[in-house]
Structure 1
Amino acid sequence: MKKSLAANKILERLQSKITPETPTAQLSLIAHARRVVRAIESLESIASNKAPSETAEAHYLRISQNAKKMRAEFTRINDQLHEVLKSDGEIIHGRINRIFEPSKHSAEIRAVLRGMTTEARNKFVLDAVTSANIEALSAVREAPAVLSGLNPDFHGKVIEMAEQKIAPDLVRQLDENFEVFTAAQTVLGVAESMTNEYSDPNKIKDIERREKNAAQAQKDLEESLTNQDLEESLPA
């Protein structure tokens, strides 16, 4: 099966989810995936269209040279994908942080929590999530688990639940960003797999050696037919 078919299926799934409300970051990730798919299709076209004057070896070498260019471009695209995910993630996390801005009573809330029994403390925190008590949740979220008397794992789960409760749209956007990023990475993996098919170093080295020998043979022939060589061969 052509690599472009697999890559196009992923791209079509991504594009089918685009709406007028799709965030810019996701549109950018999809655009990068589209570039990769087009590159895959182009390399497949080169691979399936050998010039009449080309030998199989020369055709392979031409494909491998284009595959090498593609790999360099894929490295740049991979960097761009990571940058889009990182920069938009920082913006979204900044918005979430502003929602959970700690109050002047945060330290007191944590002190009260530390004074409770484990059962009472855990119940208080879970009730805070249910009732969307931002002040209490901000106090818990702001500091390490030990300052609220919480188990680290439980502390992490509480923060996750609190963010999903208070800022569901932002959390969803983070999840969707990562989903699109992962799909774009999968497309990139398909492309890199294809370029590797035309990157056998031993085969390329052998073809280049034979081309060099052929070029030298042609040069030797041309030199043997020059007037200078003829004059030098005549007796004085």
Structure 2
Amino acid sequence: MPPRPYDIVAVKSAPPLADATFDEFRKALAAAAKVRRYADLTSLVTPQGFFWDRDFAQAYERRRPGVDNLAAAVGLERNDGAGWDALARFAAGAEVEAQEARPGTVCAPARPHFDVVLYARLLDRTFTTAADWAYPRAAKLAVRATPQPGGALVAELGAHFVRLRGSGGDGKATARDRWTEIVVPSGAPGYVAPGSLGSLAEPQLCFAKDALGRWHIVGFVAGG
């Protein structure tokens, strides 16, 4: 079935956490991810009480150190260290959302704010699920006719939900390097650059302060 036009449902990014100590912690996490040094990461993870939500494979082990559970959760050394790259992405954003079930805990990336009624109506009218939709991470996002930077410009997306269609580009490219095929609100197909879209179902890394006011990684929420 060819793509069809759809209504625009706006999204609004969550505000960054206004805490200088959290900014310093993020820098330390980014540095550890860059050098890929396990000892540096260990000091940033709570030694006890680490949680892993949506652990469908039941890989969590309560008795092992928090950093070991984190490594398993993000697949730290899999696919040429893709887990380290994931930690770097988690460290890049200051936008977080509170975990109501765990007071004092915040998770990143924060999901955007949007009108849930309009969003539900969008899913109903397009016969889709949440897995079929994403949103631009930036305020503006170029959509290309082909999966490459020099492709003809099809449209420029704003801050709203966009329908997914698949992936494209070099078949030898890794998942993190593939362009994403989408449908713009007019119904026209196109491609957006790797890593330029966010999802309501993407994984989250969670943080909290200890009794001395120091930030630590305290948990992980798997995607899906």
TM-score by length of 2: 0.24
TM-score by length of 1: 0.23
Q: Which has the higher helix share?
A: 1
Q: Which has the higher strand share?
A: 2
Which has the higher relative contact order, 1 or 2, with Cα contacts under 8 A spaced 6 or more apart?
A: 1
Max radius of gyration: which structure?
1
